[in-house]
Structure formats: structure tokens, C-alpha cells
Amino acid sequence: MAMQKLQCELCGGRLIKRESGEFECDSCGMAYEKEVIQQMLVTLDAPVQIEGMANAASLLDRAFILCEDGDFDGAAQGFARVLEAEPRNAQAYVGSLMASLKLRQESQLGTIKELPSSYQWFERARQFADSDYRTVLDGYENLVNEKYRPRIKFAQNLTQLQTGQHIAFGAQAWRVLHVEGKRALIITENLIDIRRFDASSNKWAVSELRCWLNGEWYGKTFIPEEQRVIATTELEASEDKVFLLSIDEAKQYFSSDSDRIAKTSDDDAEFWWWLRSPGRGSYVAAFVDEDGIVFADGSEVDFSLNGVRPALWLNLES
């Protein structure tokens, strides 16, 4: 009687036995517990061939598919298994880097903010890659280098900044509001977004806006070399890399109302923008209107049509 093979109920692929004793489809990756396999064995009326670990090529393919699907933990495990079997597999090192950076496609290595060569996985991949694949990897390195090197060079040469100067920093246009000793206060030329201050609080230290600016926006806007020259600023009840101006600062660092006017970046319309100071009430925060006038009375914090114009201090000694 011919030997039977265990097949996946989902896709018909081969089931292979893992080191843990559980089984896994060699095609779609579906896992089967021992109890399920035992039931499958009972229903078969012929001897069954139990296959061992999937080959490295199929594991590698499946790990890249997991990356494409956004299952980065599963992908990382898959690439690790490939490297256990083939420690000189260049693609598995690249895949491990992709999973750690949460990249779905290998081509995205040309868009990251750090030079790929700063990661050990990438250097390992270059070490074991053949000449053709090494050329591909070097291409990712060159793309990042060309895109970010001018910014890195600027971040390393800040000693000549002057009040009133207009600069590019962190993929944004900024205006230098004030130079004080070895640091400079800058603010974006335009509004970077339109959003509410918070759901209910007018306290900057606990606001949604502070959390977003110093978290998601900060991480996406500034490459590491730029982050290193951004000073930590002590405010009334918080320490921030990025912040909004207070009422006093908005009056101090601009020469007139018209000097304070800011526009949206998409349609070039003059717009309101938040300040971090509380307004005259527990549910309102101060803002600057479309004519550049400071409104200390404030606007309701959950009003989602005010603009965001962040400021920060640069450390000119970095």
C-alpha cells in the first residue's frame, strides 16, 4: 500500500513536523496541534509518511509573506529558523532587519531614516550576499544616503543660525525666532496639521497634542542625527522636545499680528493655530487667529479645526 502524506485542510499543502512536536503546513503556514494530527491519522487507512522540518527556501518564502501581511513577529521567527539551518543566508538577514523595522517590502530599506549599514543584520547580509544581491543592497544604502545626507550635514553645522533666518530641518520649513547663547528657538513656517488640543483638558502636560507631537510626529519627522541636536525644554509642568508657544512667547517673538499669521501647507490658506497656554476657562486653550491676533480667552479644546504650529529649541553646540 502506498505511503500517504498528511495534507493541510486549508490549502492541501504538506504537513511537516516541527521540533516542538506540532505540525505546520509547508505552504500556508497553518499550525496543527498534536491532537488534531492524531485525529487525522485515525481517518487515514494507509501508512503515513511524517516529514521533517521544511526546507530553508520554503521557510524563507513564508517569512517574507508574513512580512507582507504585517505579521512581523511571525516573520522574525521564520527568518530565525532559516538562519539556524543556513547561517550564511543573506536574504534571511535582510528579512530579519525588515521584521525588526516593520517593513513589508524589501525596497522600503531605501526609505528608512538610518543608513542601512548601521544595522548589523544589513552588514551580515552584505557579507554573505553574492555580487548581484550585494549591488541591490548597496543601492538601498545609496538611496538613504542621497536622501538624508544633506539633512545630516545641516544638523551637524548649526553655529551660523540668526534670528529671522528661514531654514529646512526635519523635512519641514522653519523660521528662527530667537538665538540665545548656544541654542536657537525655531517654529514651523506653516501649520503641520489640523487637529484638536485634547478631548477635555486644557493642560498642555497631559494633552493629546503634546503626546502626538513628542511621539508619532517627532519620530516620523526627524532622523536620528537631527534628533540629537534638539534640546529638551523644561516647560511649566513638562519636559518636551517639541512644544507649542505660550501666550507670552507668541507675543514676545513676533513683531506684529501680521508677523504671526500662519498658513496651511496644502491650500495656502491663513488659519488659526493653538498655543499651549490655558484659556480663560477649564475647557479652553489659547490660540492665534487667522489675522495673527492672540486670543487669550481661548477655544474649546476639542475643536478639531485649529492648526498645529510646533516649536523647539536647537542645541547649537551639538
Own/partner long-range contacts of 225-230 (Cβ < 8 Å, ≥24 apart): 225/148, 225/151, 225/152, 225/155, 225/156, 226/151, 226/152, 226/155, 226/169, 226/170, 228/155, 228/318, 229/155, 229/156, 229/158, 229/314, 229/315, 229/316, 229/318, 230/312, 230/313, 230/314, 230/315
The confidence score (pLDDT) of residue 113 equals 74
Cell 501649520, located at residue:
191
Q: Is residue 304 part of a domain?
A: yes
What pLDDT is attached to residue 267?
A: 61
* 312 vs 227: CA distance, rounded Å: 11
* Residues 175 and 235 occupy one common structural domain: yes
Enumerate the H helices of the chain as residue ranges: 34-43, 56-69, 72-85, 90-101, 120-128, 131-155, 208-212, 218-221, 224-227, 247-252
- Are 20 and 145 contained in the same domain? yes
* Boundary of a domain, candidates 150, 178, 196: 150
Same domain, 54 and 116: yes
193 and 289 share a domain? yes
Task: Supply the pTM of this predicted model.
Answer: 0.58
- Specify whether 224 is located in the same domain as 123: no
Q: Angle at Cα 67 formed by Cα 20 and Cα 222, nearest 5°?
A: 130
Q: Across the strands, what pairs with 191?
A: 264
In a domain, 155, yes or no: no
pLDDT value at position 276? Answer: 97
Show which of 150, 175, 191 is a domain's final residue.
150
Do 213 and 279 lie in a common domain?
Answer: yes
Q: Is residue 73 part of a domain?
A: yes
Instruction: Give pLDDT tens digits for 222-264.
Output: 888 889 999 999 998 999 999 999 999 999 999 999 999 999 8
Residue 198 zone, left/alpha/beta (φ > 0; ψ -120 to 50; rest): beta
State which residues form the domain around 179.
166-315
Does residue 158 belong to any structural domain of this protein?
no
Domain match, 105 and 170 both: no
Identify the pLDDT of residue 23. Answer: 73
Report the distance separating Cα 193 and Cα 220, nearest Å.
14
Q: What is the pLDDT of residue 52?
A: 45
Is the domain of 130 the same as that of 221? no
CB 134: neighbour CB atoms within 10 A? 15
Residues 103 and 143 occupy one common structural domain: yes
Judge contact between 92 and 60, C-beta under 8 A: yes
Render each residue's pLDDT in the chain as its tens digit; 318 residues.
444 566 777 777 777 766 566 777 766 777 877 677 667 665 655 554 444 445 678 889 999 999 999 999 999 999 998 898 888 999 999 999 999 999 999 999 998 877 788 788 999 999 999 999 999 999 998 888 777 767 766 766 777 888 999 988 887 889 999 999 899 999 999 999 999 999 999 999 999 999 999 999 998 888 888 899 999 999 989 999 999 999 999 999 999 999 999 998 656 789 999 999 999 988 999 999 999 999 999 999 999 999 999 999 999 886
Query: How many domains, in total, are found in the chain?
Result: 2
Same domain? For 144 and 265 the reply is no
CATH assignment at residue 27 = 1.25.40.10
Residues 238 and 111 in one domain: no
pLDDT of residue 37: 66
* pLDDT of res. 318: 62
CA distance 284 to 261: 21
Residue 156 lies in a domain: no
218 shares a domain with 184: yes
**CB neighbour burial string for 239-276, b if at least 16 within 10 angstroms, e if fewer:** ebbbbbbbbebbeebbeeeeebbbbbbeeeeebbbbbb
Instruction: From 124, 150, 176, give the residue that closes a domain.
Output: 150
Note whether residue 161 is domain-resident. Answer: no
17: cell is 513536523
What's the pLDDT score for residue 51? Answer: 47
Query: What pLDDT was estimated at residue 20?
Result: 63
